[in-house]
Structure 1
Amino acid sequence: MSRPVIFDLFHTLIHGADEERDRVVGEMAVMIGVDPAGLVAAYHSTWRDRLVQWDVEETIRILAGRLGGTPSNEQVTRAGEHRLALGRRVLDSVSSATLDVLDALRGDGHPLGLISNATSDTAQAWPHSPLAQRFDVAVFSCDVGLAKPDPAIYHLAAERLGVGPADCVFVGDGADGELAGAAAVGLTVFRTTEHNDTDPSWGGPALATLGDLPAMLREPFEVMEPSGAHTGHKTA
């Protein structure tokens, strides 16, 4: 069996759509009667809780309350649907070129896994996206209560693929310290810069485009030791 390949999602397979996220949160603020700039700032400052703890409507209620709002159930539901629609839209934006890469990897016999630091709107939209049918395993931080670079989330993905971490390749842009986290538990790591040059300090192999990956995995390659690790995070 060819080596399993585990991908990051945002800024690796799809663009992170950070500006659109802020716009949508501002629109949600109007729906629930709080200050748009305040709600956008609250979303940014609570990213970790939203990744591993709160669902969409819980987030809206908690943050609205912190901003002095008391939205009705109807307002919360409406704002939640607006956020869920964003999740569907972002996943549906995946390019045909990326889907072709995934199909090529599957054609070469590589099982495919996903580890995403993602909020519940993404996890709920995933089963209906064009990406889902191409993956054998998808692990979302909001579902498992773990987020990269926690070693446990890499071990969990590998376990679900039926292998050990050292048998897997990890591909990501490098946000949230994910590359160092993957390397620390034994995965072979490739950094991608196709959507964003998130971690230029990383010293391992890099891909300018995912289209290069199938051919690279068909050839023997030497894994380089990383020279640094980036700890910034993506907006979710």
Structure 2
Amino acid sequence: MANKILSSKDNLQVIYEDNHIIVVNKRAGDIVQGDKTGDKPLSDVVKDYIAEKYNKPGNVYLGTVHRLDRPTTGLVIFSKTSKALPRLNKLFVSKDISKTYWALVKNKPKKEADTLIHWLKKNPKNNKSTAYPKEVAESKKAILHYKIIKKLDNYYLLEINLETGRHHQIRTQLASIGCPIKGDLKYGFDRSNKDASISLHARNIQFTHPVSKEDLNITAPLPKDAIWDACL
């Protein structure tokens, strides 16, 4: 957890906000919802931000629509109204939200672009998923599409589009083709990042606003880091 700057109501990176939804750029180390660690979750930070900005007394309504792994960064959508929440949930279930991720890997994938299809099985004891080429008991089908978009001095920048949303899906599937994400010790990278992050960033989301029906295309700035800077 060294060198982490976790989110607070005063430094929250709000990328988009209206009456019904708020989209923030999650820092590495933030947890989206509370867990056994007892650390303050990003959802509570967003509530604090809303309460102060709009001078709201009492409890602030906020619906959590989806999550990102704690060491990852990027876009997280929250619902500010009970009207928007079920509609946002429906967009995720029907896969009508397009999510694009960027990942840094040291090893070059065998193909410049490919579709990866695996069956993932989660082990709750070590909070880790394993990828299988065929269906096994208690596994779920996982599909992603990737392409190499830039060659850096020591890494490759991959752009990834998810077709499914499984536990540690991108991390597991890339590791299964010999391309663990930079800093991801759990899935086979050889050393950690200084801030304990992994170099996986939820870069862009596109969807139709659940209330206004406006088409939204939202991009998150990259983390402040020399290697991420080289990706632009």
TM-score by length of 1: 0.28
Instruction: Give the number of the structure with larger relative contact order, counting CA–CA contacts within 8 Å between residues 6 or more apart.
Output: 1
- Which is richer in helix? 1
- Which is richer in strand? 2
TM-score by length of 2: 0.29
